[in-house]
Amino acid sequence: MVEIVVPDLGEDVEKAKISFWHYEEGDKIEKNSDIVELTTDKATFNVPAPETGIITELYFEEGDEVEVGEVIALIDDENEELELSEDEEEEDTNF
Amino acid sequence: MSLNAVSTRLPHWLIKKIYRNEASLETKEILKSLKLNTVCESARCPNMWECFSKRRATFMILGDICSRDCSFCSVKKGVPRDVDESESAGIAEAVGRMNLKHVVITSVTRDDLEDGGSSHFARTVSMLKKRYPEVLVEVLTPDFQGKVDCIKRVAESGPDIFNHNIETVKRLYEYVRPRADYYRSLDFLGFIKTNYSGIYTKSGLMVGLGETGRELESVFDDLRSAGCDILTVGQYLSPSKNNIPVAEYVHPDVFKDLENIAFAKGFLYVMSGPFVRSSYNADQVFDKIKNKDKTEV
C-alpha cells in the first residue's frame, strides 16, 4: 500500500485545501499521474501518484482542509488484478 | 465536487506539479543539515519542489527575519538576529554537495545593520569564488538604502550577475514596497552597469498587482536606460490573507507578449511566465546570454 501524504508546501504552511480529486476510489492510476489538487493561501499544486495502482481510499472530500504530513489517500500497488491487467496489456501489444 | 471547491480553484496555468522524488528530498536534507535558509521555503515559492528536484535552491543569507515589511512578501518580519558568519561556509559546503555550477544568493533586508549586510554578502561571494573558481555566482540583493559603499563592496567581491528587483511599477510602490524607492532601485542598477561593466545586471517584476501594460513598458524602458541586461516577469501570488491580494491572474499569452516587448527594447535575455521568479532557471539564462554575446561578437 502506498500512502498519499500532504507534502511540505513552504515555511509555516500547515494546512491546505483539497480542491479537486482527479480520480475516484476504485480507479486505476499510473505512476506520476496527478491524484489530487491542493490549494494553499498562495498557490495550487497537483500531487502525483508515487506508484501505479488501484486507489482504495480517498479519506477527504473536496473542500476539506488537510494538514501537512497527513495521509489523504491510499493506493494499492500490489493488487493481483492490477498485475494481471498489466500482463494482459502487454500481451495485447504483442499482437 | 462541491461548488466551493470549484469557485476557489485557480486558472489551470497556475497549478504547479509537486516533484517529490529522491533528488528533491536529498536537497531538502542537505539544506536542513547545514541549517541554511532558502527563499524557496521562506517565500513559499510554488517552484520549490521543481527546483529542489533539479538540485537547485536559492540561498537566503543574513538570517530569516526581514527588517522591512513589504506587503507582497511572506518572509518573517521583525527584529533580525545577529549575523551568523558561518552561513558562508555552510553555503560553500552545500554548493559542493549539490554539485551546483550556478549559485544564487539572496538575503532578507537588513536596514538595522550599518553595512546593510553587504560585508556578509561579499564574504560569501569571495569564499565561493575562492573554493569554486568555475562556479558562477549570482547575487540578488536588497537596495542597501542606496548606500554606494555597500553596493561597491558586493560588486567588488566578484559576482557574475548582480540582480536587484524593481518588483513593480512606480505608481504602486507606496502600496507594495512602502519603504523602497523606485528611482533608488534604478540608480542602484545603473551604478553597477556604469562602474562594473563585466557584471551582468538583472531585475525582476511581479505582475497582477493592478498595473497597466503601459506602466510595465515604462518600467522596461527605465530598466534599459539603467543598462539592465536581464529581466524576469512573473505572476504575483498572495502568500496569505495578511498580504495584498492578487488584482489579476495574467494569461500566459500576455506574458509572452511582455517577453516580446521587452526583448524588442534590448534586454539581453527575458524570462516571462506565470511561474517565473527572480532566480527560476537562472543557470539556463546565463548559458543563453553567453551564447548570445558570442554570436554578437
ipTM over 0.90: no
Q: Which residue of B has its CA nearest to A23?
A: B1
What is the extent of the structural domain holding A60?
Answer: 2-94
Residue B2 DSSP label: -
DSSP strand pairing (A65-67 vs A15-21) = antiparallel
pLDDT reading at B103 higher than 60: yes
Contact indicator for A46, B16 with CB cutoff of 8 Å: yes
Tens of pLDDT, residues B107-157: 999 999 999 999 999 999 999 999 999 999 999 999 999 999 999 999 999
pLDDT reading at A90 higher than 60: no
Q: Residue B95: is it exposed, middle or buried by C-beta count within 10 angstroms (0-12/13-18/19+)? A: buried
Cβ distance A47 to B18 less than 8 Å, yes or no, reads yes
The CATH number of domain B15-296 is 3.20.20.70: yes
A62: nearest CB among B2, B49, B238 = B2
Cβ distance B239 to A62 less than 8 Å, yes or no, reads no
Residues from chain A that touch B48, judged by Cβ atoms under 8 A, are: 10
Query: Percent of chain B beyond pLDDT 90?
Result: 86
Over chain A, what is the mean pLDDT?
87
Cβ distance B46 to A8 less than 8 Å, yes or no, reads no
For A68, phi then psi, to 5°, come to -60, 130
pLDDT of residue B289: 83
At residue B195, what is the residue type? Answer: N
Residues from chain A that touch B41, judged by Cβ atoms under 8 A, are: 10-11
Q: How many structural domains compose chain A?
A: 1
Q: How far apart are CA A78 and CA B295, in angstroms?
A: 55
- CATH number of the domain at A81, please: 2.40.50.100
pLDDT of residue A80: 55
pLDDT of residue A82: 59
| Sign of the four-CA dihedral B42, B48, B51, B52 | positive
pLDDT reading at B219 higher than 70: yes
pLDDT reading at A94 higher than 50: no
Over chain B, what is the mean pLDDT?
93
Contacts of B28 (CB under 8 A, 6+ apart): A8, B52
pLDDT of residue A84: 52
Torsion angle defined by CA atoms of residues A70, B58, B95 and B198, in that order, rounded to the nearest 10 degrees: 170
Cell digits of residue B214: 503601459
Contacts of B193 (CB under 8 A, 6+ apart): B199, B201, B226, B227, B228, B229
pLDDT class of A85 with cuts at 50, 70, 90: low
- Cα-based distances in Å from B142 to A57, B49, B185, B192: 48, 25, 9, 14
| Sign of the four-CA dihedral A78, A82, A86, A88 | positive
Return the HEC string of B73-132: CCCCECCCCCCCCHHHHHHHHHHHHHCCCEEEEEECCCCCCCCCCHHHHHHHHHHHHHHC
pLDDT reading at B5 higher than 90: no
How remote is the C-alpha of B256 from its chain's centroid?
A: 20
Q: How far apart are CA A30 and CA B10, in angstroms?
A: 25
Residues from chain A that touch B2, judged by Cβ atoms under 8 A, are: 61-63
At residue B295, what is the residue type? Answer: T
For B150, phi then psi, to 5°, come to -70, -45
Mean pLDDT along residues A45-63: 96
Cell digits of residue B203: 531585475
Cell digits of residue B191: 551604478
pLDDT of residue B297: 39
B36 or A80, which is more confident: B36
At residue B4, what is the residue type? Answer: N
Tens of pLDDT, residues B245-290: 999 999 999 999 999 999 999 999 999 999 999 999 999 888 888 7
pLDDT of residue B173: 96
pLDDT of residue A87: 52
pLDDT class of B3 with cuts at 50, 70, 90: very low
Across A17-21, B7-11, B293-297, which has the greatest mean pLDDT?
Answer: A17-21
